[in-house]
Each structure stands twice: as C-alpha cells, then as structure tokens.
Structure 1
Amino acid sequence: MTTLNKIESLLRDQRGAPPIADWHPELSGDIDIVIKADGRWIHEGGEIKRHKLVKLFASILRREEDGEYYLLTPVEKWRITVEDLPLQIIDFEVNDVASGRRIVVKTNVDTWVELGKQYPLSVVTDGATQEPQPAVQLNHGLQARVSRPCFYNLVELAECRNETMILFAGGQEFELGSV
C-alpha cells in the first residue's frame, strides 16, 4: 500500500499540460503517425523511441466528436491513426484510508490520474474473444487501455457482489466483469 502523501505528490508534481481545449485551428491534413494497439508510436514506418518526444506528442493529442484523433498546436491540427486506444495504463498505487480507497493510475507517458468520477474505469467484453477490455477515461476525449498485469492486480482488490467483481475507488464503484 502507498501512503496518502505519496499519492498526493504523484498527482500534484506533474507539469501542466498545454491548453489544447482552447485551440481550434482548421484541419491541416493527415500525418503518417500511428499509435499501435500496444502503445508504440510509429512515424512513417519507424518507431518513435524517444520517450520525451512521445510524451510531447501525447500532451497535444485530442479525440474529437468525429471520433478521430488529432495532434494540435494553436495554429495546426493534424489527424493521426490510433489502432485501439492512444495510451496505456502501466502502473498504479493504492491507499486505503478511513474515507475510502484511493487508486492512482500511471499512463505510459508518465501522467497520473485518480480513479473516480472524473477518471472512471470501464470494462467492456470483446465480442469475439470474450476477454475484458478495461480502459480509463482521460481528458480531451482520450482513453487509456489498462495493461493486463495492472487489470489482474485491480481484480485482486475487487469484491464479489452477485457474481460481479466490483472495485471501489475514489468514492465510486467500477464493475470489472462477471465471476
């Protein structure tokens, strides 16, 4: 278990994000960037391996009402391709306090958010494989796929109610699936 102070510092010590909600440029076109289902960013066929560059691009990424993903600046808007979800949940920290459980999750671009009403966890079942597909809702219309190891560890924290696994976090209940 993590101390409450550590959770507070993880959330507080993040650098501010660009104000992309205020940016509304016209479409500049398509750019050959693909975010693979496993979280890798590919540009013109080659993987972007500089983590800081991926973090920069992720900080200016938005999904709009048309369902498309765009990289934005105040004057440019470039459409990119996303195979599944653009980000991954790769780690989490838990703290159980008298007022309830707090869980903060970490994305593959080093941002932390606390599961709760603002950042809910949802799980849908793949129709073909019947495997759970957990995701966390983020800012700017984005979602992050919860990695399999993180999901299994979250399931271990869940309680069974009427044959459904329920995770309590941030004053909310999240259904993880049937037993």
Structure 2
Amino acid sequence: MPYEAPPDLASLSLEQIARAVEERRLPPVEQWSPSEEIDSLMRIAADGTWFHDGGPITRPAMVRAFSSLLVKDERGQHWLMTPQCRQSIAVDDAAFLAVDMKVDGGALAFRLGTDELVIAGPDHPLRAEGDPECPAIYLAVRHGTEARLDRSTWLQLAEHALAEGGEELEITSAGATFSLVPR
C-alpha cells in the first residue's frame, strides 16, 4: 500500500489535526519489556537524517517505521523497541525535527520531518535551551523523545510570540504557556 502524505499543514483546521493525531496508531512500545539489548548501528543526525552503519537511510517509509518505535529512557539513551529486543540508537540532538507550524484555535500544531503531527500543550510541552540570543526550542513528542524546531519553524514561532505581545517572550498552546527564553 503506497504512503499518502498528509495534506499541507496550513490547509488543515485544528479539528482535522487533532483527529489525525487521535487516529494515528502506534506500536504499544510502553508495554514491551524486551530482555535482549543490542546496538542498532543507527544514528539520527542533528538535521534529522537517519543513518545505518554510516550510510543514510534514503527510504522515508523506513524512517517513519523506525521512528514509531523510538523511546528515550531516564538516562537520555534512545532505543528502538520491539517486543523481543531493544536496540540503542545514537541521537546527535533530538530524535525528530519539527519542520512546520500552524496556529489555530488557541493551539500550535507542528509537523515533524516524519509527517507526524503534534499539538503543543500540557502533554507535549515546548522548552527552550541554549543561548537566549539564539535558543533551541524543543517539543515533547512521545515516550521521552523530542523534536527540535528547525530554523524556519522557530522563526514562525517567534513571530507568533511577538505578535501576541506581552512582557515575556512566551506562547500559549492548548491552555499551557511556554517561555521561548532559556532559563
């Protein structure tokens, strides 16, 4: 069955985005306790490119499949989970890259490089790291993993925050308020 990319984020309403998020079926990795542990020989570069054994993974469908199996443990180690085995995976910065953003109905929706949609809010907070002059903004995705906002998405977010005004550079999404300034 061929993969059909979701419509352009700008053409979707918040209701359509929320429905797409709700309908996405992911493997139940949180229920798996594999006993075997190995190295996957995989790495996710800071630009979102996936590598296996030093070469880039060029099939987007493979990246989407692998990304649905990702978890990050309390020590910060990323894993590809299966019921039988968990495989370590090196991650240079964040496991995902947020590549687009839309503001609608008091919420911020983000599209990841894997075409997944995430709505920022209490369950998917934003956090700012690094230098206040040039912060890195991260969005919680699932199972401890995060997406770093790429430059154009960060600029969209900053423009939205500036348009909202206020004394602090912050934004509100789905009832939660997030600072865009690293603390």
TM-score range, shorter chain: 0.7 to 0.9
CA-CA distance at 1:95 after TM superposition: 1.2
Secondary structure in structure 1 of the residue aligned to 2:124: coil
Alignment counterpart, residue 83 of structure 2, candidates 74, 84, 90: 74
Amino acid of the residue matched to residue 138 of structure 1?
Answer: V
TM-score (norm 1): 0.87
TM-score (norm 2): 0.85
- Residue 7 of structure 1: aligned partner: 14
Give the alignment's Cα RMSD to 1 decimal: 2.0
- Residue 153 of structure 2: aligned partner: 150
- Residue 96 of structure 2: aligned partner: 87
Contact 2:99 2:149 (8 Å CA) reproduced: yes
Percent of residue pairs identical: 30
Contact 1:89 1:146 (8 Å CA) reproduced: yes
Aligned in 2, Cα 1:171/1:40: closer, same or farther, shift over 3 Å?
same
5+ residue gaps, structure 1? none
- Residue 6 of structure 2: aligned partner: none
Distance in 2 of aligned mates of 1:11 and 1:51: 23
CA-CA distance at 1:131 after TM superposition: 2.1
Distance in 1 of aligned mates of 2:55 and 2:138: 27
Alignment counterpart, residue 140 of structure 1, candidates 121, 143, 146: 143
Paired residues, number: 170
Q: Does 1:23 align with 2:32?
A: yes
Alignment counterpart, residue 171 of structure 2, candidates 154, 157, 167: 167
List per-residue Cα deviations over 1:90-130 (Å, max 9, x = no partner): 1122113xxxx111111111111111111111111249xx5
Amino acid of the residue matched to residue 153 of structure 1?
Answer: Q
Distance in 2 of aligned mates of 1:11 and 1:170: 11
Distance in 2 of aligned mates of 1:113 and 1:153: 16
Q: Does 1:115 align with 2:93?
A: no
Aligned in 2, Cα 1:43/1:2: closer, same or farther, shift over 3 Å?
closer
CA-CA distance at 1:2 after TM superposition: 5.8
Contact 2:101 2:156 (8 Å CA) reproduced: no
